[in-house]
Amino acid sequence: MRQYDKTDPAAQTLILDRLLWADEFQNFLQNKFNTMKRFGLEGCESFIPGMKACLDTLVSLGGEKAIVGMPHRGRLNMLANVVRKPMEVIFAEFQGVTPK
């Protein structure tokens, strides 16, 4: 039996919610910042719930820090959806403004 077959329905719903949120955030960025290079999430959607599961496991085992080295692809989405960095800060930094 594969690991994803063992996932309970509530966890599956949460994973689906994260995937839908990531896709909607990507669409928002595409519409709001259509003239800026932003390295979209295309093809890396499964990265979001996978990274969230990794970080949740790290925290549950007592980890306090994580260093994530990754390409630009999906980085804004990961910051917003996995790390839960405030949107105001992400948008300010994305536009080259110092967040308040």
Look at 88 and 43; give whichever has higher pLDDT: 88
71: tokens are: 């390409």
Quick one: average pLDDT of 86-94? 84
Of 93 and 38, which is predicted with more confidence?
93
Token pair 């996978």: residue: 50
Indicate the pLDDT class of residue 63, thresholds 50, 70 and 90.
Answer: very high
86's tokens: 């405030």
pLDDT of residue 33: 75
Alpha helices in the chain (DSSP H): 9-32, 47-60, 75-81, 87-94
